[in-house]
Amino acid sequence: MQTRNKFFDDMSQLMTNAMGVAQGAKGEADNALKGMMDRWLADRDFVTRDEFEAVRLMAQKAREENIALTARLEALEAKKKPAAKKA
């Protein structure tokens, strides 16, 4: 028959508590590191992905409008040239 040894029970409880403390410390360290990184990135004036995508879409739309207006201007100029030659 096996009996429980108080020393081993105490050691087991101590190790369980130590693991809980270590996990808590890891969580605190992760939060502190994340906070430091967020502050560091904010100081560097980096843009977020959302801001970058918004500006990229605006630039793409402006480029498309520019191409359309260029084609329209060329068509108007081509239409105007034959009339100018008649005069």
- What tens digit of pLDDT does each residue of 9-39 get? 888 899 999 999 999 999 999 999 999 998 8
Evaluate if pTM is beyond 0.85: no
> What DSSP assignment string belongs to 9-77?
HHHHHHHHHHHHHHHHHHHHHHHHHHHHHHHHHHHTTPPPHHHHHHHHHHHHHHHHHHHHHHHHHHHHH
Higher pLDDT, 46 or 32: 32
Whether 87 shows a pLDDT value over 60: the answer reads: no
Domain ranges of the chain: 1-46, 47-87
